[in-house]
Amino acid sequence: MKEILLCKLGEIVLKGSNRRYFEDTLCRTLRYRAKHFGSFEITSSQSTITIEPKDEFADLDGMFESVQKVFGIVGISRCAVCEKSMEAIEQTVREYVPQFLVGKSTFKVVAKRSDKRFPLDSMDIAREVGGYVLSCVPGIRVDVKTPEIVVQVEIREYGAYVHAGQFKGAGGMPVGTNGKALLLLSGGIDSPVAGYMIAKRGVQLEAVHFESFPYTSEMAREKVFTLAREVAQYAGTFTVYVVSLTHIQEELVKNCEEDYFTLLLRRYMMAIADKIAHRIGCGALITGESLGQVASQTMQAIGVTDPLSTLPVFRPCIGMDKEEIVQIARKIGTFETSIQPYEDCCTVFTPKHPKTRPELSKVEEQQRRLDFDALVQEALDSSYVEYIPVEF
Ligand code: ATP
Ligand code: MG
C-alpha cells in the first residue's frame, strides 16, 4: 500500500503575499531532511504540503519522525493512496484505518470530492466508508458532533486519499523566515530551551559558547556540542563560536572585587556576543535568563549587563519557572544532556556574595580596572567555529 504524509501548515497561511516565501522556505527544509531518508517528492498546495515517497526504498517512518520537528507545521497525517474506486477505497479502509482507531470509541467520516465526475457524492462516500469502519472495528460508534477521531476520504484527480486523525506538528514558523539571532549557549538547562523557543518563531540560530579552559574541561565543551546537535534537530544546521574567557577571568580575579566577578564576566559575554552577532549578520542575541533565578538574573543585574549589547536581547525564559523550562527541555530531548555535571565558566571563580542589586557606577568603576576593549578583542581573536549539522 502506498503511504504519503500530509503536512498542515500553521500560522504561515495567514501571511498574505509572503505566504509563497514561507511555503518555499518550509519545502526547502523538508527537502534537505528528506535527502537523508531516500527519494521523495515534496509539493505544496492549499496550505498542505504533500510528502510522497518516489520508490520503495524511501523511509517514510524516518521522514515522519523528522517532520514532527520542523517548525511551521501544525499537524501531520499519514495517508494511504489508492485507486479511485469504491472497491479500492473499501479495501484500503479495512487494511489501513483500524490501526489509527485503537483505543478510540467514536469516529466520523468526512469525505471530499475534488473530482466531481466521481459517481458518488461526498455524503454517499462518507456513509459507505462509515459502514466499512463499523464492520471492521469492533465496539466503535459514530459521533458526528464530537468524534474522537475523524476518518477522511478525499477523491482527487489522480487517486483517492484515506487518512485517520492527525499527529501534532512542531508549530511555529519555518526557520529562516524571521531573521537570524545569536544564542548564548551554555551547558545548562535554560539556554537550549531559549534557542528552541526563538527558532520556533522562524529565527535561524547561530550560537556562541564561552569556556574557560583549563578551568572548564574538554568534556564540558563536548557536552555543549551535544546540546547544540539536539537543538539543531528543531532549529536546523548552525554553527557554534567557541570563545575562551580564561584570560579575562584571570584578570578579573587579580584586579577586581570578588562580589562583582559574575556581573563583570557577563558584561564581557554580552559585549563579545554582540560583536560576533554583528560580524555574522545576526539581528538579536538570545539568552536563557529567567527573572530572579540566580543573583545575576535579578532585574538590576540584567540592567547592568543588558546595555553591553547594541542588539535586542531575546529572553524567552524570562517569565518561566524552572519547572516549566525543564518540561520543555524534556520534550525536546536536551534535559538529560544538560544535567550532566560539568563545570561552566560561570561556575568557576564564583563569588560567595554576588551583588544582587548592583549599582551601574560601581560596576563601571570595577570594569575600568582592566582594559575592557583589548580583552574583548583578544577573546574574539582566540575564537574558533564548530559546525553543527542536523543529525538523524
Ligand atoms: P543555563 O541553564 O542556560 O546555563 P543558568 O541558569 O545557568 O542558564 P547563567 O549561568 O546565569 O544561568 O546564564 C544565563 C544565560 O547566560 C544562559 O542562559 C546563557 O544564555 C548565557 N550563558 C551563561 N554561561 C554561558 C556560557 N558559558 N556560554 C554561553 N552563554 C552562556
Ligand atoms: Mg549556566
284 and 372 together in one domain: yes
Q: Which residue in 5, 1, 75 sits closest to 33, CA to CA? A: 5
Domain of 148?
2-168
Condensed to tens digits (0 to 9), the pLDDT of residues 13-24 reads: 566 777 888 899
Residue nearest to atom 1 of ligand 1 (CA): 188
Q: Which residues surround ligand 2, an ion (CB under 5 A)?
A: 186, 188, 344
Helices (H), 137-173: none
- Is 23 touching ligand 1 by the criterion CB < 6 Å? no
Expressed in angstroms and rounded, the spacing between residue 277 Cα and the centre of ligand 1 is 17
284 and 351 together in one domain: yes
Ligand 1 pocket check: which of 185, 191, 286, 321 to mutate, most ligand atoms within 8 Å of Cβ? 191
Residues 6+ apart with CB under 8 A from 312: 283, 284, 285
Question: 319 burial class (0-12, 13-18, 19+ CB within 10 angstroms)?
Answer: exposed
Instruction: Report if residue 175 sits inside a domain.
Output: no
Identify the CATH number of the domain in which residue 116 sits.
3.30.2130.30
The per-residue pLDDT for 352 is 86
Identify the CATH number of the domain in which residue 189 sits.
3.40.50.620
Three-class SS of residue 228? helix
From the CA of 339, the nearest ligand is: 1
Query: Which pTM was predicted?
Result: 0.94
106 and 143 together in one domain: yes
Question: Cell for 364?
Answer: 563601571
Question: Cell for 91?
Answer: 479495501
205 and 287 together in one domain: yes
Expressed in angstroms and rounded, the spacing between residue 156 Cα and the centre of ligand 1 is 52
Expressed in angstroms and rounded, the spacing between residue 210 Cα and the centre of ligand 1 is 9
Average pLDDT, 10 consecutive residues per value, the chain (392 residues): 93 71 93 96 91 96 97 96 96 97 96 92 96 95 96 94 96 95 97 98 97 93 96 97 96 94 96 98 98 90 96 98 98 97 81 89 96 98 90 78
